Every structure is written in structure tokens, then in C-alpha cells.
């Protein structure tokens, strides 16, 4: 079974997908700053297990459409893209699995379209129901004199000016900063924050690439972003307040479909949201498993064998 690349015309946009296998549809949604390629170690395993695994490029990434309007990257548009992909494959429902931003996209797709997404798997970022304080206000209050990276990403062109002159080098540093085997020492500056007048890159470790990332892997990721630029990817962060408004009617809502969570014990994204994991009996009442693996943020690339085993077990249980 070889992987097939397709461009789907959905809702006036193009969505690039990579498909492998046949059987029940499983949609794989990547995070920042990645692409369908982050699922390269899951596609063949899920296909062999009897599933039609489809990894997409989220709009703004890779070969998918890159609308100019920042508001075109709001969550409701991404949910619509996911529904349209399911329909384009001739299916009425699918399991959706996401990592990082993809986990949030997957969770909210399942929340808003429960008839389409019959189960959901979340990697690295726990489910937090919509609602609560306005996101921009929360992030502005973090850092104690430093700027949280989400706030740093808000202004159009600012982060792009840091990243795009050396995409490959920036990606190498970012991936390394959040990987368990290349993280800086515990007393090093936190790479999630920016000093006044500084950049994120100043906080990245230097040296060897993380063990999960080959030079060829890095070349692939770099080539994608050198072609597309980073604005589409960063626009996801620039819609968090819009999402908060759009999803207000879902404030506090649980996801009732079967669900799975996988996180890393050395991943800040998982640890910061430990309260969200504690709330799973209420917010994910049909959770089939919550597993913490010894790894950093790039869980399905750092620990592919364990992730694959847990995903197949989850899918087989449905």
C-alpha cells in the first residue's frame, strides 16, 4: 500500500491530503509548525491495521489553500474543511485525531459536528471546553515581564520577520526546544517566552537535531515553509478571540463521543493544562484512555511505536 497525494476542492478552497489504506476513515490533523508529514510514521501502520488513514495539510500549510484574509483561519472554517474532506471521500463519518493545534481542531470538530466525527483522539494538548476569559487577556497576563509566544505571534508580520530569513535554522531550533532529548537545561530561559525586544529564537538550544528528526525530515519541513511562508500557519493564533466569540454557545460543553488522550511527561503543553486532564470525567465522559509517555511535544514522532499501538487499540475498540 503506497501513500497517495490528492488535492480536494472543498468549499471553494483546496485541501491537500495524503491517503493510505482502505477501511473506516481516520482523519489526521497536524499542528504548528508542521504538515501532513508529521503523520508519516502513522499512515502505514493505520493502513496495515485496516483503516483508511488520511493526513491533511491544514489550510495555510503545504499545498492547501492560503487565503489572504486572516479571519479565514478561524476555527469554524477549519471545522468546515474537515467535514468537507470527509464528504469528499464519500463518507458520512470519520474518526478524527489531532496533534498540537490539530488536537484543538479535532476536539472542536467533534464538539461542533458530532454526527460527522464519531470519535476523537487528542495528542499533546488536552481538551478544554470553549468559554472562560477572552484568550488575548489570558495570554497578555502571562510571563511576568516577558511576552508569551502566543501574544508574540499576534501581530501580522512580526514573527514572520524572525522566522523567514532562515526557515530551516528556525525550525531546527524550535523542534529541538520542545523535544525531550534536546531540551535546554531546566534553568535555561523558557523558549515559550520572549524577552522585551527579543525573539523566540534566542531561547532555542543549539547543537544536534533531536533523534526523531533527520536532516531529510528537516529539509522537507523547511522546503514547505520556504515555499508558503509562515503567515498562513501563524494566522491560526490570530483567530483565538474570534474562535472564543464563534463558539460561545458551546461554552463548557463536553465531547460525548469516545475519546483518547496522549501526552508527553516533558511537554509544557500537556503539563500546563493538567487541570483540564483532571476535568476529563466531566469534559470527556467517554474517554477510553489517557496516557502520558516519556517524551516532549512531538509525541507521534518522538514515540511513534507507542503512539501507533495506542491509536490502533483505540480505533479497534470503536
- Tens of pLDDT along 102-145? 999 999 999 999 999 999 999 999 999 999 999 999 998 887 88
Q: How far apart are CA 115 and CA 112, in angstroms?
A: 9
Q: What is the pLDDT of residue 135?
A: 94
Whether 57 sits among the annotated catalytic residues: the reply is no
Q: Is the pLDDT of residue 259 over 80?
A: yes
Q: How far apart are CA 144 and CA 38, in angstroms?
A: 33
Tally of helices (H runs) and strands (E runs) in the chain = 15, 10
Residue 275: Cβ within 10 Å count: 9
State yes or no: cis peptide before 33, omega within 30 of 0: yes
Averaged pLDDT of the chain: 96
Choose the weakest-confidence range: 49-53, 181-185, 303-307. 181-185
Give the full edge-to-edge strand order of the sheet including 287-293: 4-10, 13-20, 52-56, 25-29, 94-99, 117-123, 259-264, 287-293
Whether 100 sits among the annotated catalytic residues: the reply is yes
pTM higher than 0.85: yes
Query: Closest by alpha carbon to 284, among 106, 72, 18, 69?
Result: 106
Please compute the mean of the pLDDT values over residues 179-199 and round it to a whole number.
88
Choose the weakest-confidence range: 47-51, 185-189, 192-196, 291-295. 185-189
Q: What is the pLDDT of residue 303?
A: 98
pLDDT in tens, 25-62: 999 999 999 999 999 999 999 999 999 999 999 999 99
Q: Is the pLDDT of residue 206 over 90?
A: no
Q: Tell which CATH architecture fits domain 4-317.
A: 3-Layer(aba) Sandwich (3.40)
Q: What is the pLDDT of residue 28?
A: 99
Question: What φ, ψ does residue 135 adopt, rounded to 5°?
Answer: -55, -45
The runs of H, that is alpha helices, within 19-157 are: 43-48, 75-88, 101-112, 135-140, 149-152
- The residue among 145 and 229 whose pLDDT is bigger is 229
Q: What is the pLDDT of residue 311?
A: 98
**Do residues 295 and 264 lie in contact, with contact meaning Cβ atoms separated by under 8 Å?**
yes
**Do residues 59 and 81 lie in contact, with contact meaning Cβ atoms separated by under 8 Å?**
yes
Q: Is the pLDDT of residue 185 over 80?
A: no
Q: Is the dihedral of CA 147, 152, 155, 161 positive or negative?
A: positive
Contacts of 272 (CB under 8 A, 6+ apart): none
**Of the residues 57, 100, 243, 267, which is catalytic?**
100
**Do residues 177 and 149 lie in contact, with contact meaning Cβ atoms separated by under 8 Å?**
no
Q: Is the pLDDT of residue 156 over 80?
A: yes
Question: What φ, ψ does residue 288 adopt, rounded to 5°?
Answer: -90, -20
Confidence of residue 187 (pLDDT cuts 50, 70, 90): confident
**Do residues 221 and 35 lie in contact, with contact meaning Cβ atoms separated by under 8 Å?**
yes
Q: What is the pLDDT of residue 241?
A: 97
Q: What is the pLDDT of residue 188?
A: 78
pLDDT cut 70: percent of the chain above it: 100
Q: How far apart are CA 317 and CA 31, in angstroms?
A: 26
Amino acid at each position: 500500500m503506497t501513500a497517495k497525494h490528492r488535492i480536494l476542492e472543498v468549499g471553494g478552497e483546496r485541501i491537500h491530503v495524503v491517503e493510505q489504506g482502505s477501511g473506516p476513515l481516520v482523519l489526521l490533523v497536524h499542528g504548528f509548525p508542521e504538515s501532513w508529514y508529521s503523520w508519516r510514521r502513522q499512515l502505514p501502520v493505520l493502513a496495515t491495521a485496516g483503516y483508511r488513514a488520511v493526513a491533511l495539510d491544514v489550510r495555510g500549510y503545504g499545498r492547501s489553500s492560503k487565503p489572504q484574509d486572516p479571519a479565514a483561519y478561524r476555527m469554524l472554517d477549519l471545522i468546515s474543511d474537515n467535514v468537507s474532506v470527509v464528504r469528499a471521500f464519500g463518507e458520512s463519518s470519520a474518526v478524527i485525531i489531532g496533534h498540537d493545534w490539530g488536537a484543538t481542531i479535532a476536539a472542536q470538530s467533534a464538539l461542533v459536528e458530532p454526527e460527522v466525527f464519531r470519535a476523537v483522539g487528542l495528542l499533546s494538548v488536552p481538551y478544554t471546553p470553549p468559554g472562560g476569559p477572552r484568550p488575548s487577556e489570558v495570554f497578555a497576563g502571562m510571563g511576568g515581564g516577558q511576552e508569551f509566544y502566543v501574544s508574540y505571534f499576534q501581530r501580522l508580520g512580526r514573527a514572520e520577520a524572525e522566522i523567514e530569513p532562515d526557515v530551516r535554522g528556525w525550525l531546527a531550533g524550535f523542534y529541538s526546544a520542545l523535544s525531550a532529548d534536546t531540551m535546554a537545561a531546566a534553568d535555561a530561559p523558557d523558549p515559550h517566552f520572549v524577552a522585551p525586544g527579543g525573539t523566540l529564537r534566542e531561547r532555542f538550544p543549539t547543537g544536534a537535531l533531536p533523534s526523531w528528526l533527520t536532516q531529510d525530515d528537516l529539509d522537507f519541513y523547511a522546503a514547505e515553509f520556504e515555499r508558503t511562508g509562515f503567515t498562513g500557519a501563524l494566522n491560526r493564533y490570530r483567530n483565538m478571540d474570534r474562535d472564543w466569540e464563534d463558539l460561545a454557545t458551546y461554552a463548557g460543553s463536553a465531547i460525548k463521543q469516545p475519546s483518547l488522550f496522549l501526552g508527553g511527561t516533558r511537554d509544557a503543553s500537556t503539563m500546563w493544562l493538567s487541570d483540564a486532564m483532571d476535568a476529563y470525567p466531566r469534559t470527556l465522559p467517554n474517554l477510553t484512555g489517557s496516557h502520558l509517555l516519556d517524551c516532549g511535544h512531538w509525541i507521534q514522532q518522538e514515540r511513534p511505536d507507542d503512539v501507533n499501538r495506542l491509536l490502533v487499540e483505540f480505533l479497534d475498540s470503536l
